């Protein structure tokens, strides 16, 4: 078990005679006293500073060796199932809203690179001929992750689970389009606390729409992850041929070039939104978010993960004002489609309020429905079993009072 951590001081609510600390999914601004991004970021950064680093020899394993020695043997802390906060803007404050389950080994800040990235690529349609053995290992990991966290939820006790369900506090899991069906048939006990995020790594199977509709009936939510447009789709939002060259790094190398082909592009996302509309007709309680990936955020709001991203994108916008205008128009169109269907919108970068003010002015209905992932703590995540004492423990009440929450 990792060292004890001091995180997630949450809103105190009562369910029956039991007091616990959790955060409502859609609190009214006047009700909000949940922990702010600033408080959580400080604690997460402190935790990350005390974490062990990923072992170099494990980071350098080839995909098959990584699957055999790390994934199958569950070498990672908590089986690799760590959680990262997602915040929602409530009034003037960013407050904890969701927890996304991510893969980590020992280091809170990131995956064992490049081993995990190469494993995922070799196990999915990111490569022309994915290895069947690796595909099976990756799918098994996705299902096992759901079951592991589901088992942890069951051990919390019925009162705490009921409180989490009442508050809408969900744990979100990444699955590819081809892992969606196995996830649906996994034996689970706490579907109302589990949500799925459809990632872009696999091609869509023939029954994808059917599986999505079942997911919205079965799980608490299904969202679309890592959305971004292709170069041709951006060009469709201009009146003249697009003049485009990619942004540059400080070393003069291409930075985040728009792709010519991408699975979760504008057209694919429109179909996902249409499927969600159909799901809402069958199940009005169905929930979903549109998640815009880092590259899209670079062009849309000028912010990415790299420390030089702001300067690089500002220079690019100055050089390509028409292309920048077209990308923003595309982004606004897609966001309005998602909001019109009843979805939220999550930007997968850490940004300042000023970065998105133009977007809120352009799309006022986005207020209260905009999320950001990680926030000021960036990519930091914590083991899922470390959440019990801090999120659902009455001892957090004292901490909440200490911080005036």
Query: What's the confidence (pLDDT) of residue 15?
Result: 27
Cα 328 from Cα 133, distance rounded (Å) = 42
Quote the mean pLDDT of the chain: 88
Among residues 54, 205, 166, 158, the alpha carbon closest in space to that of 116 is found at 54
Cα 339 from Cα 345, distance rounded (Å) = 8
Among 26-30, 106-110, 195-199, 383-387, name the one with the lowest average pLDDT.
26-30
Tell me if residue 145 falls in helix, strand or coil.
Answer: helix
Among 83-87, 159-163, 342-346, name the one with the lowest average pLDDT.
159-163
Query: What's the confidence (pLDDT) of residue 388?
Result: 65
Under DSSP, the state recorded for 241 is -
Query: What's the confidence (pLDDT) of residue 389?
Result: 53
Cα 61 from Cα 50, distance rounded (Å) = 25
Check pLDDT > 90 for residue 394. Answer: no
* pLDDT digit string, tens, across residues 277-325: 999 999 999 999 999 999 999 999 999 999 999 999 999 999 999 999 9
Peptide bond into 244 cis (omega under 30): no
The reported pTM is 0.89
Query: What's the confidence (pLDDT) of residue 19?
Result: 27
pLDDT band, very low/low/confident/very high, at 34 (cuts 50, 70, 90): low
Residues ≥6 apart with Cβ < 8 Å to 384: 78, 81, 82, 83, 101, 149, 152, 171
HSE-CB for 389 with a 13 A CA cutoff:
9
């Amino acid at each position: 078990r990792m060292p004890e951590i001091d995180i997630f001081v949450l809103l105190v609510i009562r369910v029956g005679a039991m007091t616990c600390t959790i955060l409502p999914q859609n609190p009214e601004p006047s009700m909000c006293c949940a922990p702010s991004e600033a408080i959580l970021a400080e604690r997460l950064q402190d935790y990350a500073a005390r974490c062990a680093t990923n072992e170099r020899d494990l980071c350098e394993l080839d995909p098959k060796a990584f699957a055999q020695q790390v994934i199958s043997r569950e070498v990672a802390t908590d089986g690799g199932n760590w959680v990262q906060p997602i915040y929602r803007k409530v009034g003037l404050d960013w407050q904890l809203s969701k927890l996304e389950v991510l893969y980590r080994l020992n280091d809170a800040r990131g995956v064992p690179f490049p081993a995990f990235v190469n494993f995922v690529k070799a196990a999915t349609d990111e490569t022309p001929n994915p290895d069947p053995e690796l595909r099976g290992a990756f799918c098994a990991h996705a299902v096992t992750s759901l079951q592991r966290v589901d088992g942890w939820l069951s051990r919390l006790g019925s009162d705490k689970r009921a409180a989490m369900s009442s508050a809408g506090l969900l744990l979100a899991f990444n699955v590819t389009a081809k892992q969606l069906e196995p996830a649906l048939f996994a034996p689970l006990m706490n579907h109302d606390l589990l949500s799925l995020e459809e990632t872009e790594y696999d091609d869509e199977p023939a029954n994808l729409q059917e599986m999505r509709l079942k997911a919205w009936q079965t799980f608490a939510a299904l969202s679309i992850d890592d959305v971004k447009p292709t170069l041709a789709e951006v060009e469709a939002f201009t009146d003249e041929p697009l003049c485009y060259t990619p942004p540059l790094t400080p070393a003069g190398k291409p930075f985040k070039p728009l792709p010519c082909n991408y699975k979760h592009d504008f057209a694919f996302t429109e179909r996902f939104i249409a499927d969600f509309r159909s799901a809402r007709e069958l199940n009005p309680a169905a929930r979903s978010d549109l998640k815009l990936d880092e590259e899209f955020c670079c062009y849309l709001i000028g912010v990415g993960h790299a420390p030089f991203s702001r300067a690089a994108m500002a220079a690019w916008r100055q050089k390509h004002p028409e292309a920048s205008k077209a990308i923003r128009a595309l982004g606004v169109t897609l966001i309005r489609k998602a909001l019109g269907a009843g979805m939220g919108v999550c930007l997968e970068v850490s940004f300042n309020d000023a970065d998105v003010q133009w977007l809120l002015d352009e799309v006022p209905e986005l207020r209260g429905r905009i999320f950001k992932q990680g926030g000021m703590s960036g990519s930091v995540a914590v083991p899922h079993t470390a959440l019990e004492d801090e999120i659902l423990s009455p001892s957090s009440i004292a901490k909440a009072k200490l911080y005036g929450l």
